[in-house]
Amino acid sequence: MKKLKYFLVLLFVTVSCVEHVITVRIHPDGHYTMQIRSSGDSTDVFDNDFSHPIPNDIWMKSIQSSVEENDTIWTMTTQGYLFGFTRFNEDSLSLAPLRYPVNLIKKEGWISTRFIFSQIFSGRGAFRKYPILAEALRSNAKLDSIRWMPEAMEYICTQAIHDIQTTHHFDIETIFLERIRHHLQNYFIHVKKEKLLKELDENRDIFLRRAFSPFLTQLPDEFIPAMSQAMKPHEEELRITMGLQDDSFEYRVLMPGMMTHTNADTIMNDTLKWIFDLETFLNDDVTIEAESVIFSQTRLQQLILLLVLSLLIFIGVMWKRSR
């Protein structure tokens, strides 16, 4: 049975910085190309903390390596040709992956065509889920598992109970599950933290049976296995959040036509640029926004000509009336 203490491995492995560079080029026909390039140590590039789209008819992926100052740098590049709205995580129900859906809206008018581009890097909600850990991640402090682990385990277990309530058909009264949730909160608060770390080194069933010991006789036999399964997505969510700690993101967008609105950090010629890291979306969303417009010279000339003709006709009518 899988051990819960795999979390602690993250704390003693040297974390390497991964640089993610995302480049979007929007074409006048309403399509856009996106290139995602991640560079760093192989352990961090391929750990799926920031997952690239899966290669298919739309996406192409390449992997290269180079040696810089006696270190091997791996670069994974994924690029695709897109249109409209794109979601990058196939499992839309899972909370674990970092979500970053993108959308391009093309609005055609008689004189102009507007392009409205947006992409959202979904916030991890860390301050709501495990504030002690979130504060350490924000301040880039050394992660002390003795402090944040009980809080994180309380969140994972209570969320798993909530999931069991909605996905399983156990004959358990809601008020009884609330009692269990309240018991777990007290358990993780009062248990000696060093003892908790020791318990996490045991297999999952032993840990859960000890935590639920006052209620085991009142729970169905299938509850502990269901609880074990329900905890996994929330454990993976925590792993990914911690794994993104030293990742950096540089986002570039090339828009057609004249820029009308953007929240970019910098603008150089036709390139918009954003730079952010985990701290930016540790709790709340990061939204990339850009709008531009292309005017049709032919239709603009036709409009000007129509206005001139209308003005001449009006002047002619007024001149006749004055006579």
Q: Per-residue confidence of the chain (323 residues) as pLDDT tens digits? A: 455 544 444 443 445 589 999 999 999 999 999 999 999 988 888 888 898 998 888 999 999 998 877 788 999 999 999 999 998 876 556 778 899 999 999 999 878 899 999 999 999 999 999 999 999 888 876 666 667 888 888 899 999 988 888 887 777 888 888 888 888 888 887 765 556 666 666 677 888 888 888 898 888 888 999 998 899 899 899 989 988 988 999 999 999 999 999 999 999 888 999 999 999 999 999 999 999 999 866 665 666 666 777 777 777 777 777 76
Please give the pLDDT value at position 36. Answer: 96
Residues 207 and 230 grouped into a single domain: yes
Helix residue ranges per DSSP H, the chain: 6-12, 42-45, 126-129, 131-138, 145-167, 174-190, 193-200, 204-211, 223-243, 278-281, 297-322
Does some domain include residue 319? no
Please report the sign of the dihedral spanned by the C-alpha atoms of residue 247, residue 32, residue 96, residue 280: positive
Residues 34 and 120 grouped into a single domain: yes
* DSSP 8-class letter at 95: S
How many domains, in total, are found in the chain? 2
Task: Give the C-alpha separation, 299 to 90, whole Å.
Answer: 43
CB 286 within 8 A of CB 280: yes
Residues 119 and 251 grouped into a single domain: yes
Which of 192, 215, 241 represents a domain boundary (last residue)? 241
Residues 43 and 176 grouped into a single domain: no
Task: Give the C-alpha separation, 180 to 57, whole Å.
Answer: 48
Burial-class residue 319 by CB neighbours within 10 Å (0-12, 13-18, 19+): exposed
Residues 167 and 81 grouped into a single domain: no
Residues 47, 51, 56, 59, Cα dihedral to 10°: -120
Residues 145 and 214 grouped into a single domain: yes
Residues 153 and 234 grouped into a single domain: yes
Residues 100 and 162 grouped into a single domain: no
Domain housing 290: 19-124+247-299
Please give the pLDDT value at position 297. Answer: 65
Residues 251 and 269 grouped into a single domain: yes
Please give the pLDDT value at position 12. Answer: 39
Please give the pLDDT value at position 13. Answer: 41
